[in-house]
Each structure stands twice: as structure tokens, then as C-alpha cells.
Structure 1
Amino acid sequence: MDFSTRRLALIGLFAMAFSAPAWAQDVQVMDSAPKAQAVIGEPSSSFFVRFDRPIDHIHSNLSIWRGGQLVERLQPRLQTEPNVLFARAPTLAPGEYQLRWIVRTMEGVKVIQGDIPFTVKSPP
């Protein structure tokens, strides 16, 4: 086997080892603030979603929804960990909300989205 053939064979093995099956899986949420079904009793303006792999921050977004209506489109900070979407929002009025996330994988192959329901309760 000459050098060119060996090089092509090695490139092929490398490509198979890191091929689409690992990339084709959906991105998984590992943590969030607020957590799903959380009841928030104190004002909070920090929102984040941590994923199991790096995501494309530039083409991903966070938003807060209430009763099917957009409340606030959040601007994710670019200076965060590669697998975290983090943003700040104004203090929310009491009620039931959803933190909606839409992310693109770093490979740019897939766009995945989800919602994290939470409640803001009235102060005592």
C-alpha cells in the first residue's frame, strides 16, 4: 500500500469513527434555570439552559412565553460556556410561563427546540 492509499484509508477510518450517528442524536438538556415545573417565589432575571454538547450561540435563541403569547425575546450572551445559553430578562409578573429554546448544533445540521414550563408566584 503506497502513502496516498494509506492516507486515504486513515482519513476514511477517522471519518467513520466520528460520523453522523453521534451528531445525529438530538441535543439533550442537562440543566436549566428555572428548572422544569419550578415555582419561582423571588424575582429572577437570569435564565439559562445547559446542553450535553456545544451549541451554535449565534443561531440559537431563548424566549419567554405566556398563554401562547411572546412575552420577551431574550438575547443570549455569547461569552458563556460552549454548551450554555444564558440571558437576562426583566422581572416577570406572577403567572405561568414557558422558557422556549431553539438551538442549532455546531455541525449546523440540526435545529432542535423545546420548552421549560415554570411559574412565578405572587409575593407573600
Structure 2
Amino acid sequence: MITRRHSLFCGAPAVLFGFIRPGHAQELRVLESAPQANAVIDGRSSAFYVRFSRPVDHQDSRLAIKRDGRIIEVLHPRLESAPEVLFARAPTLAPGRYSLHWLVGGSPQADGEIPFTVGSGS
């Protein structure tokens, strides 16, 4: 009985640490976004989000709107969003081509861009 209990407790940390090791961390992938890649949106749209394949650190993550490779608006992700979602609001954008740049902090860091266009609204 003692041997069985001892083997259960000795094996438990190995299993737990196996899930925590960085080499076994789930790769971060974008599952969904608004706007979607290459979408044409109405200029009145102000909600931007990126849903990932695992939880992200909201405090160490950033969203920004870029135009012609330059950041034109830094967005502040809402801390009360779902654990795997970065969500922010932006002011009305003029017609043109943009990208939503995301940076997920923590270890390891990851970033990417989602291109989109704001239509003329006509």
C-alpha cells in the first residue's frame, strides 16, 4: 500500500511538469478576427479583436492599427475580455488599406498582422 501510494505521488510531479515545459506549450494560432483577413469593412466599425488558440496575457499584449507600414492608432486591449481574446475599440477610420497588428507578450512572444480595407461607405 505504501509503495503504491509512493509511486502515485512520485509520478504526479513528472506528469504535471510534462505539461508545463515550454517545449510542449501549445503553439499560438489565430482562430478568428474582426476584421477578417483581407475583408472590406465599413468605416463606422470600431470593434477589433483577435481570438487565439490558447489564453494570452492581456496586460503584456498590444493591438495597433497600421497604414502604409506606420502605426496610426495604438489600441488598448480590454482586460476583461475572454482569456484567449484581445479586444479593443478604435476611432472611425478613413477609407483605405490598413492592418491590425497584434503582439502577444509573455514567453514566447508572438506577433502578426491582419490586412483589411475600410470602404468608402457608398
> Normalization by structure 2: what TM-score?
0.87
Q: Which digits, 9 at most, give the CA deviation of each residue in 1:55-103, with x for residues without a partner?
A: 0000001000000111100011001100000000100000000000001
What is the number of equivalent residue pairs in this alignment?
A: 120
Stretches of structure 2 that go unaligned for 5 or more consecutive residues are none
Q: Give the 3 Å change call, closer, same or farther, for CA 41–60 of structure 1 in structure 2.
A: same
* AA matched with 2:37: A
Distance 2:7 2:67 in 1: 59
Report how far residue 52 of structure 1 moved.
0.8
Alignment RMSD, CA only? 1.9
Distance 1:60 1:18 in 2: 21
> Normalization by structure 1: what TM-score?
0.86
* AA matched with 1:113: D
Q: Which digits, 9 at most, give the CA deviation of each residue in 1:38-60, with x for residues without a partner?
A: 01135111100000110000000
Distance 2:19 2:86 in 1: 29
* AA matched with 1:68: G
* AA matched with 2:44: P
* AA matched with 1:29: V
Residue 37 of structure 2: aligned partner: 36
Report how far residue 13 of structure 1 moved.
2.8
Stretches of structure 1 that go unaligned for 5 or more consecutive residues are none
Q: After TM superposition, where is structure 1 displaced by more than 2 Å over at least 4 residues in a row?
A: 1-10, 16-22
Q: Give the 3 Å change call, closer, same or farther, for CA 102–72 of structure 1 in structure 2.
A: same
Report how far residue 5 of structure 1 moved.
6.6
**Percent of pairs identical after alignment?**
45
Residue 13 of structure 1: aligned partner: 15
Distance 1:119 1:13 in 2: 47
